[in-house]
């Protein structure tokens, strides 16, 4: 009887130890990629706690979307012109939609 109780206790302790060390999980990440303007691809990724963009090997926080839009250089218009600002607004809208797709992928 004592041997059975000792064996059961060791089994239970071992099982708990294994379960406690194997509960760590990698955060879920969802990414989407799209061609924002000709031959310029941007990837938007979201995890449980943050979203970001990747363009040309550089990671941009989701709140740095203006810098990303400038770095993409999708507009042929002169910087600070009305046409440039309009083109930039269209790019930013595309980037927000891409980020929404990546964020929606977390809920799948």
Convert the pLDDT of each residue in 45-84 to its tens digit. 999 899 999 999 999 999 999 999 999 999 888 877 899 9
* Residue 7: band (very low, low, confident or very high) from pLDDT cuts 50, 70, 90: very low
Which structural domain, as residue segments, surrounds residue 60? Answer: 30-107
49 lies in some domain:
yes
For the whole prediction, is pTM greater than 0.85? no
5 lies in some domain:
no
How many domains does the chain fold into? 1
13 lies in some domain:
no
- Residue pointed to by tokens 């509960």: 23
Bridge pairing between strands 40-46 and 51-55: antiparallel
Tokens of 10: 């060791």
65 lies in some domain:
yes
- Residue pointed to by tokens 């799948």: 108
- β-partners of residue 53 are 44, 60
Cα separation, 87 vs 89, whole angstroms: 5
9 lies in some domain:
no
- The more confident residue out of 76 and 99 is 99
1 lies in some domain:
no
Q: CA angle, 23 as apex, 108 and 5 as ends, to 5°?
A: 135
DSSP string, 17-72: HHHHHS---PPP-EEEEEEEETTEEEEEEE-SS-EEEEETTEEEEGGGHHHHHHHH
């Amino acid at each position: 009887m004592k041997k059975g109780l000792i064996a059961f206790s060791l089994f239970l302790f071992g099982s708990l130890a294994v379960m406690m060390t194997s509960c760590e999980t990698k955060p879920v990440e969802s990414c989407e990629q799209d061609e924002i303007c000709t031959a310029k691809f941007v990837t938007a990724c979201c995890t449980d706690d943050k979203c970001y963009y990747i363009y040309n090997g550089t990671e941009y926080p989701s709140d740095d979307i203006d810098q990303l839009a400038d770095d993409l250089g999708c507009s042929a218009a002169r910087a600070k012109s009305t046409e440039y600002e309009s083109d930039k607004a269209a790019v930013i809208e595309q980037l927000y939609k891409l980020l929404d797709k990546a964020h929606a992928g977390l809920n799948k």
